[in-house]
Every structure is written in C-alpha cells, then in structure tokens.
Structure 1
Amino acid sequence: MNIDNILTSLHLKSWITYSLVLLCCILLGLLLRWILFSIIKFSNRRKPTVLKAQLFKHLKAPAKFLLPILFIYSSLSLLELDSFWHKIIESLIIINLSWILIALLNASEEVVKEKFMVNGSHKTKDRKVLTQLRFLKSLSIVIIFTLAIAAILWNIPGVRKLGTTILTSAGVIGIIAGVAAQKSIANLITGFQIAFTQPIKIDDEVVIEDEFGTVEDITLTYVVIKTWDQRRLVLPLNYFNDHSFVNWTFNSTELIGSVFLYVDYTFPVSVLRTKLMDILKEHPLWNKKTGELLVTKSNEKAMELRATFSAKNASDTWTMRCDIREQLIDFIQEKHPASLPKIREMEVFKI
C-alpha cells in the first residue's frame, strides 16, 4: 500500500486541504486587519482625532475575528463541506457583526462625550443629550442582541420549523410573558421617562437616601450613583418615580455654599466681612459670582453670621465650605477671642 492509498483511506488528503485553506484564510484576514489598523494608527499619529482613537480602541478586538471568518466563508464552496459547517460559519458572522455594531455604538458615545466636554466637565444641556444617548445606546444593544439571536435560530432549519408551531400558541405565551415581565416593562417605560423628561442626568449631583453622590450611569433597568467615598449606590429606575430626592444640578451645576458662625454682640462684623472677601479672592475654587457676610439671626446669647459664596459644582462648594469655615474660625480665635459666644451671669442681691 503506497502513501496515496493510506492518505485516501484515512481521508487525510481532505483534512490537510481543509487545514491549509483555513490557515491561509486566517492569516490573510489577520494580515488585512493589521494593514487597516496600521493605516488608522498612522493617520491618528499624524492628525489625532477622537473618532480615530475610539475606532481603534473599540474595533480592535471584533475586527480580529471578522475578516478571517469572512475569508473562511468565501472559501466554503471550494472545500465542499456539509451544510452544517455553512450554518456554523454564518452564525459566527452574525455574532461578529453584532459585536462590531455594539463596538461602533460605544465608540460613537465616547466621541459625543468628548465633543461636549469643556474643561473636564459637561454643561447641563449637554448632559441632557448624553443621558438620552446613553439610554438609546442601551436600548439599541438589546435590539441588536435580540435580532442576532433570532437570526442565528432562524438559520437552523429545525428551529425554523419549531417557530411555526410556537406561533400558533403565541397568544398564551404573550400573556404569560407579559405577566412575568411586568417589572421589566415598568422599568423600560420609566427609562423612557427619565431619558426624555430627565429628572436626573448623567453627572448630576444628587442626595438619595441621605447619601450624596454623582449619577455615574443610567441603564435600561437601574441607575448607578457614585458616592463621595467611592461607593456605588445601585437603584432600580422605578425608584425615581416612587420616591422624592434632591437634585443639586437640575438646571445648573453652580451652587451657593454657606457657613454659619456664632459670635458675641461685641464682635465687629465689618472686619469679618472684609476678611471673608480676602479669603475668597485668594481661593482657587471661587467663581467670583457670590460672596457676602450677613447677620441672619440673633438671640439673647449671640449673633448668627452667615457667609455665602459660589462655586462651579457641589464638590467645589463642599471644599470651600470646609476651607472658609476653618479660616474664619482661626481669624476670630486669633484676632477677637473675647468675642466668642459667652453666657453672661449677673448676681442679684435681695434687700
């Protein structure tokens, strides 16, 4: 028995041919991908843009598989493989194309975010657009995922026949699914309300359940609040329909902070007012819009002084409150210690 007979009996010739063709397709696909991404990378180095950078970042992984799979699919007619393998490759193409569509959505979102960003933050009207964009992106991903699964299943003859049977009982299944998915549907409707009426937006600073934080993400089912100590508060979307909450940046990120001090009636208020303005002028976080000191209350023991000032956001306002409180207290202690609040006692002698 010669070598040709051995190879024929073991079907090795076919497998060697298949392996060589597959290897060539994979190498050709990877080579073409490397050329395309090298061009994008070179172009981005010469003239950097956010679009090129995001395309390179998000498409790098899915493109690694798409071109080899497409070359393999185009060579199937030469290999004379069973239809089973055709269905497998077609399913892989559907999965990869879905992956690329999702990657393009993510890249588009990053490009829009970068376009609207000014000095490391977003304006209120821009955050409205970003919130709607985030919700629509999440909804689009669900639609892409659903259509991809449907296309893969429809590509399988057995499942396609089963689909005809299932359609006859679609009414009953629809009722069961509707009852089971009531909360999910309610969340989806709430998501539309939040995206377009916008009681909260991406990067809003809110107080929820006595927790201060920033809206980090809004998905189809929940909202992520990033607290000041880096924890994450995760709340279902319908929470914002059923509960009240404080949104500090609903119309504008700028806030006015206040510090309350209590001093004796002998204290010279005008001196502290001058000191406050000196502190504000030197403070890097003051936005120069509001700065004043007022006597807001008095009783038999002391006067209440309120220092107010403005900053560009809640975080800066909090920092300024702490700084200014400390500096004003230090000033009173050093310059006017006798004017700290005191209780006066008077001796009464009976005759």
Structure 2
Amino acid sequence: MVSFWNLAPALNALILLVIAAVIVIAAAYVLGRVLGALARRRPWLDLLRRRTRVPFLVVLSVILAWIALAATLPLTDPGAVLMRHVFVVLLVLSAVWAIGSVLMFAADIGLSHYATDGSDGWQARRARTQVVVVRRLIGAATVVIGVGAALLTIPQIAALGTTLLASAGFLSVVAGLAAQSTLGNLFAGMQLAFSGAVRLEDVVVVNGEWGYIEEITLTYVVVRIWDERRLVLPSTYFTQQPYENWTRESTAVLGTVFFDLDWGVDIPRMRAQLDRVLDESGLWDGAASSLRVTDTVGGYVQVRALVSADDAFKMFDLTRTVREEMLLVAEHENPEGLPRTRIQTIQRDGEQLPRTHRAPVGGAATEDAADHRSRGDETRPIPVIADADADEASAADARD
C-alpha cells in the first residue's frame, strides 16, 4: 500500500487522485499543443483532436483513478471485488466510446475528400448521406456493444447471457415478428444510404409535393416542402413506392414555359426576345434554350420556350421571369400576336330566305302554310300576308 507521511488511507487516496488529475490535465494540454502544431500542415489532425480528445482523456482518468484507489485503500475481498467491477465497467464504456469516436473520425475523413463548392455536388451529397447513416449506425452500435460488454462483466448476467444464447433461435423468430416494421425501416434506411436512390438535399416530388431531402435516419426520411412544411415518411416508402428525383445524377434541370398566342405572332422576334431575357436574367446556365411552335388548337398557336438552370430553385425563378418578360414584350412590341377571338359573317349573292304560301287577306292560313313556318323559332309563326303583297314586294326588290 502507498502511504504519504503515515497519513490515513483516505487522505493517501485523495492525494493520488489529485496527482492523477494533474497528469490528465497535463496530458490534455500537451496533446492539444502537439496536435495543434501538426494540424497546420495536416488539417485532419485537428479533426482527430476534436473527435477523440474527450473520450481518451476519460479512459486515462479511469485508469489512473483505478490505480490510485487500488494502491491506497486497504479493501477487503468484497470491497475490492466491487471496486474492480465498477472500474472495469467504466473502463469498458470509455474504451468503446473512444473506439466509436475513432470510427466516426474515419467516416468524416472519407467525407472530406469531396468538394463542397458545388463542383461535384451530387457526389458530395451522396457521400454525406452515407456518412450520416454510418455515423448513426456507429452511435447505435457503440451504445449496444458498450452496454452489453459492461453487463457481461457481471457473472450473474454473463450466465443469463449464455442461457439466452442457447435459445437464440426461438428468440430471433419472436423478435423478428415483433419488430418486423422497425427492422424493415432500418434496412430500408441503410439501403437508401448506400444505393444512392436519394441523397441529402435531393429535389424530389413525393405524393404530389415538391421539396428536398432534409434528413435521412435509420427509420424515416424528412422531406422539406417548398412552403417550409415537413413531410415525414418511413424509409420503406422510398423502397416500395414511386417518386420523382430531379437531382439524382445532376442538379441541372430543364423547364418549359407555354404561351397561347394569335396566328399573327412573330416567332423570330420571340426567339430573339427569349435570348435577351435569358442573358439578362442571371439564372440561365447556358446549357439549353429553344422556342418552338408545338401545337395549333382552337384558333390559337401554342408556343413552348425550353430553358435550363443549375438547380430546381433557380429554374423556379427563371421560368417565371421568362413568362413575365415575354408577355410584357409581346404586349408592347408584338400586339398582333396577343390571343384574340374572331367572328366573321358571310353574305352570299342572290341568297334569299325560303318563301311561304300565304292565305288570302282576311282568310285563315291553310295547313300547307302552317307547315312552312320558320324553322328558326317553332313557337312564333311568320305573319301571313297576301300573295299580291308578296308579288309587289318582289317586284320592288327587282327594281332595286
């Protein structure tokens, strides 16, 4: 037993604990200074220091505290066994924590190889998605393994674990049936992360809603709708249901703007106007632009403008800018192309209305005369006039 100046064991333990704390603080200071100096040439060392500093200091603290108490406290067998179990559990938990931190550091190093300036955006988003899911798996595995290893240090629980392993077949069936939905979402989340079907910040259309992937977890996916709503879907939705992914291979998208115009529209002038609007918008990526007549229906000419942009957000603004500017230009420079409705009447030479047989003046209309009433209005018969009057009217028309 270690003793200082024949002091009581508790004071000796306190002195050694203080010495251990000083050693830990000094080690943290030295390690931080050394890694900080080396990180100027190797930036990944700074990330390593930030990820692993706390867990490794905890491991060192547990080891030094165990040594200090074991060297100063004269414990009996039950007390020594209890202290040993406590420090073994703490050491196992802190060691698993440190190992998990190293694994997370390795995942972050893999992500750092991708550019974040947009030059390889879709690859970076895919790597980010995978790293997020891997980090969640590492965190969950760290907790499960740490707690399981700590419990197995207790003899009674270790014996129980052996019994459970003997009946693992039955338990696995029961657990599989009970957690079928949860396990399905778990494996679906892993499949989404490594298959590349969807990635963080992908623009998608799900259930008729347009938005982008905001978060991918082991069990659900969060889609941020354009109006700031969140659509939370189980991971199995993206493996079992159809959806649109606008940015799977590239963020660039095409957009269309349709115009229903009159036959007098000047198409060459519209093409020149479209080029000018795209150049001045600042949203066009220069990849594609065209203006074509796509249909002629109902007395109108349907014109389609095709444009391109770097991403869906710029496309949303670009299509509306093109629509507004083209309409304003058409109103001032090409008004004959604005949509209108035409009505044309035609009068044929020598065409006369059909004549009717009239009854004598003062007499009743015959059945034949009644049958020759105007078919345009069956409810009101044409007034009956004498044949003589009709002949005079015809003669007057001929003189005219």
TM-score w.r.t. the length of structure 1 is 0.84
| Structure possessing the higher relative contact order (Cα contacts under 8 Å, 6 or more residues apart) | 1
Which range moves more in the overlay, 279-288 or 163-172?
A: 163-172
Partner residue, 2:97? 99
Partner residue, 2:52? 59
Structure 1 segment 212-231 matched on structure 2, within 5 A:
212-231=210-229
CA distance, structure 2, for counterparts of residue 160 and residue 146 of structure 1: 15
Which range moves more in the overlay, 235-244 or 162-171?
A: 162-171
Q: 1:236 to 1:260 in 2, by over 3 A?
A: same
| 2:18 aligned residue (23, 45, 49) | 23
Q: Number of matched residues? A: 339
Structure 1 segment 260-279 matched on structure 2, within 5 A:
260-279=258-277
Q: Is the 8 A contact 1:27 1:68 kept in 2?
A: no
CA distance, structure 1, for counterparts of residue 346 and residue 50 of structure 2: 83
Give 1:75 shift.
3.0
Deviation by residue 1:283-303 (Cα, 9 ceiling, x = unmatched): 333221101111112223322
Deviation by residue 1:209-263 (Cα, 9 ceiling, x = unmatched): 2222222333322222233344432221111222111111223222111111222
Q: Is the 8 A contact 2:13 2:69 kept in 1?
A: no
CA distance, structure 2, for counterparts of residue 136 and residue 102 of structure 1: 11
CA distance, structure 2, for counterparts of residue 333 and residue 342 of structure 1: 13
Q: Is the 8 A contact 2:294 2:303 kept in 1?
A: yes
Give 1:54 shift.
2.7
CA distance, structure 2, for counterparts of residue 308 and residue 53 of structure 1: 48
Give 1:125 shift.
4.5
CA distance, structure 2, for counterparts of residue 174 and residue 267 of structure 1: 73
Partner residue, 1:78? 71
Partner residue, 1:113? 111
CA distance, structure 2, for counterparts of residue 142 and residue 164 of structure 1: 23
Q: 1:120 to 1:88 in 2, by over 3 A?
A: farther
Q: 1:53 to 1:208 in 2, by over 3 A?
A: farther
What is the alpha-carbon root mean square deviation over aligned residues?
Answer: 2.8
Which range moves more in the overlay, 118-127 or 95-104?
A: 118-127
CA distance, structure 2, for counterparts of residue 165 and residue 110 of structure 1: 40
CA distance, structure 2, for counterparts of residue 302 and residue 290 of structure 1: 26
Q: 1:30 to 1:162 in 2, by over 3 A?
A: same
Deviation by residue 1:154-205 (Cα, 9 ceiling, x = unmatched): 1122312332343444343333212112122222332343344432233322
CA distance, structure 1, for counterparts of residue 297 and residue 63 of structure 2: 83
Give 1:121 shift.
6.1
Partner residue, 1:141? 139
Which range moves more in the overlay, 88-97 or 135-144?
A: 135-144
Which range moves more in the overlay, 22-31 or 240-249?
A: 22-31
Q: Is the 8 A contact 2:111 2:131 kept in 1?
A: no
CA distance, structure 2, for counterparts of residue 89 and residue 334 of structure 1: 85
Partner residue, 1:317? 315
* SS of the residue 2:8 aligns to: helix
Structure 1 segment 1-351 matched on structure 2, within 5 A:
13-44=8-39, 46-47=40-41, 49=43, 51-80=44-73, 82-120=80-118, 122-347=120-345
Give 1:322 shift.
2.3
Q: Which has the larger Rg?
A: 2
Partner residue, 1:5? none
Give 1:29 shift.
1.0
TM-score w.r.t. the length of structure 2 is 0.75
CA distance, structure 2, for counterparts of residue 61 and residue 284 of structure 1: 48
Which range moves more in the overlay, 89-98 or 153-162?
A: 89-98
Structure 1 unaligned spans of 5+ = 1-7
Q: 1:252 to 1:157 in 2, by over 3 A?
A: same
Give 1:57 shift.
3.6
**Which is richer in helix?**
1
CA distance, structure 1, for counterparts of residue 240 and residue 179 of structure 2: 19
Q: 1:70 to 1:276 in 2, by over 3 A?
A: farther
* SS of the residue 1:75 aligns to: helix
Q: 1:308 to 1:101 in 2, by over 3 A?
A: farther
Q: Is the 8 A contact 1:26 1:69 kept in 2?
A: no
